[in-house]
Every structure is written in C-alpha cells, then in structure tokens.
Amino acid sequence: MKEIETVQRETILKILKKFILFGDNPLINSLLKNLCSAKENEKHFKQNLLRDIVSQSTIWSNLDSEMKLLVLNTCITLVEAGIASIYPSNTNQATHQSNNQVRR
C-alpha cells in the first residue's frame, strides 16, 4: 500500500512539474484545488504530498501566492484535524475547565 501511495505522489509531482514547465497556470490551480479538497480519509496521503510540494523548490517557488496560501491553509487544516483527533473537544473542555480551576 505504501509503495502505491509513493508512486501516486511521485506521479502527481511529475505532472505538477510539467504544468509548471509549460506555464499552464489554470491546470496548476485546478490540480492543486482538487488535491487540497480531497476527502478526509486521504489525510496521510495529502499530508505527504503537501510536504513534498512545499519542500521542492522547483514546485514551491513557481506557485503563485493564491496557490501557496491554499496549500498552507490545507496544511493548517490537517494539523488542526490531527490535534482534534488526539484531543477530542470533550477532553479539551474538561482540560480547559480544570486549568481554569487551578488558576483561581
């Protein structure tokens, strides 16, 4: 399964690099918008793909500010979802209440 994910990520990155090479901004934007709006059950794949996009200067430096913002906002959403899955809201409320009681 991990090998398939790696091949898919590499394929998407190659396609993105070709779109950049050809200067096809509408296709770049469309691809990134679709990737960033992928379903929640694909979080791990999306995290790795976005990490690759941000860390590869040949891709990142060629994205316009709107697409960079989209990628970074998606990263933030994934981090927040990860934190929420570790600390569900009931736990956060209980912790917050206990912290308030300690501060009094």
Which residue would you say has higher pLDDT here, 43 or 5?
43
Q: What is the pLDDT of residue 82?
A: 86
Of the pLDDT bands very low, low, confident and very high (cuts 50, 70, 90), residue 54 is very high
**75 phi, psi to nearest 5 deg:** -60, -45
In the chain, pLDDT over 90 holds for what percent of residues? 54
How far is Cα 98 from Cα 2, in angstroms, rounded to an integer?
41
Where b means 16+ CB within 10 Å and e means fewer, 55-82 reads eeeebeebbeeebeebbeebbeebeeee
How many CB atoms are located within 10 Å of the residue 35 CB? 19
